[in-house]
Amino acid sequence: MGDGMTAGASVTGLGATTPLGGDVASTWGGMLDGRSGITLVEEDWAQDLPVRIAGRMRVDPAEVLGRVPARRLDRCQQAALVAAREAWADAGAPEVEPERLAVVIGTGVGGVLTTLAQDDLMEESGPRKVSPYTVPMLMPNGPAAVVSIEFGARGGAHTPVSACASGAEAIAMGLDLIRLGRADVVIAGGAEACVHPLTLAGFAQARALSRRNDAPEEASRPFDARRDGFVLGEGAALVVLEREDFAAARGARVHATLAGAGTTSDAHHITAADAAGQVRAMRLALESAGLDPIDIGHVNAHATSTPTGDLTETRSITEALGTHPAVTATKSMTGHMCGAAGAMGAVAAILAVRDGAIPAVRNLADLDPEIKLDIVIGKPRQGRWKAAMVNSFGFGGHNASLAFTG
C-alpha cells in the first residue's frame, strides 16, 4: 500500500441524483450530450421573485424512496440516501467491519426546507402542529446520519459545512480517514436541496444569480463573456472510497484513484474569492498526490458562471497548473448544486479519466477574451489523461481541490 500518509484511495462506487438524471448513468449521459437541467420555477410562490429558474432534481427522491419513509427525511437527506444506495451497489456492497466503515457527507445549509416549512407551520397553526421529526430533519448532519444508519457505519459520521466546497471537502476528509488508518471504506460526498423563495431571493439580492428567466437552459454559462451569475441547483453525489489494498483483496472494480487533496482557507472576505487560497489548494493537492502540474490533463472547474468568480479561478488554474489542462464546467448543465457541487465535479472528473471523455461547457458562445485556458467547447474532448483535478470553492473562503488518477 505504501506510506499511509501518501497512499491514494480506490474509488469503487459512484452515486448521484441531479437536475440531469436520477442516477450516475443518466447524469453522465446528459453531460456528454450537453443537455441542460435548468428549468423555470412555476410555483405560485416564485412569481414575484426576480429569479425564477433553478436546477431541480430530475427524479424526485421521495418517489424512489417511497412516500412514507421520505416523510421523515428532509429533501437533502432523501437525495443523499438515493445517491448512497447507488454508490454502495456500484461498489459491490463491500463486506467491511462496521467499525471500519465511515461516512462523510458535506452540505451547505442542511435541512433548510424543513426549517422554513416548519416555522411557517408554527406561525400559521401553532406549536402543536410542528412535526416531531423537525430537528433530525433540519440538522446539517442529517444526510451523514441517515446514510450511516442505512449501512451500519460505526467508524464515524462526519459533516463538513463549508458552503459550496462542502462536498469536495468531504471527499478530502474521506481520504484523510483512510490514510490515517481510521477506516477501510468511506462513503463520501455532498447533498443539497435548498430551492426556496428565501434562498433564491437572498442570492438574487446579492446579485449572484443569473436573471435569464426567459431562457432557463441558457442561463448557466461559465466562461462566457455574457455570463451574469449562477443558477441554483440541488441534488447529491457520493463516492465509495476504499483503502487500496482492501479493494484489491476483494477484487473490486476501481473507477479511479483519489491520489491527493488540498484544502485551504482564504481569511480574506466572506463572499469574494482570493486567488492565492485557490492556488494553494491546487498545489497542496498535487503535493498530496505526488504529481507535477504537467500531470494534470483535465480540470473540472468550480466555474459557477459569475463574472468575477470564473475569471479569478482561471487565473488561479494558470498559476498553479499552467494553461495546458483541458478545462470544463459541468455547472453549465446542472446549475450550482452548492454543498453537493464539489462531489458532483468529482464524479464527472472520475468518469472523464475512466472513459476518456470530457464534457463540453454548455452555453459557451463567446469565450471571455481574458480567459486563456484550453476550455472544452462544442463537443466532448476525447483522449486519455494521467490525472484530473476538481476545484470547489465556497463562501467564507473555503477552497478544496481533489486529484484523481486513472
Give the angle 84-87-91 at the CA atoms, nearest 5°: 135
Q: Which of 158, 255, 298, 302 is catalytic?
A: 302
Give the separation between CA 330 and CA 111, rounded to whole angstroms. Answer: 25
Residue 95 CB neighbours (<10 A): 7
C-alpha cell at 283: 498545489
Query: Considering 164, 194, 255, 338, which one is annotated as catalytic?
Result: 164
Q: How far apart are CA 234 and CA 27, in angstroms?
A: 13
Residue of 298, 336, 338, 398 marked active site: 336
Pairwise CA distance, residues 236 & 220, whole Å:
19
Q: Is 336 a catalytic residue?
A: yes
Residue 27: all three cell numbers together: 447524469
Q: How many residues in total does the chain contain?
A: 406
Instruction: For residue 164, indicate whether it is catalytic.
Output: yes
Phi, psi of 11, deg, nearest 5? -95, 110
Listed residue (277, 275, 391, 381) closest to 331, CA to CA = 391
**Quick check: helix, strand or coil at residue 208?**
coil
Question: For residues 233 and 76, what is the distance between their CA atoms, to the nearest angstrom?
Answer: 12
Collapsing DSSP to helix, strand or coil, 194 comes out as coil
Instruction: Quote the longest CA-to-CA distance of the chain.
Output: 61
Give dist(CA 84, CA 153) in Å, integer: 12
Q: Is 158 a catalytic residue?
A: no
383: left (phi over 0), alpha (psi -120 to 50) or beta: left
Q: Which amino acid is at 213?
A: N
Beta strands in 115-255 (DSSP E): 157-158, 185-192, 235-243
Report helix, strand or coil for 54. strand
C-alpha–C-alpha distance, residues 334 and 207, integer Å: 20
Catalytic residue numbers, as ranges: 164, 302, 336
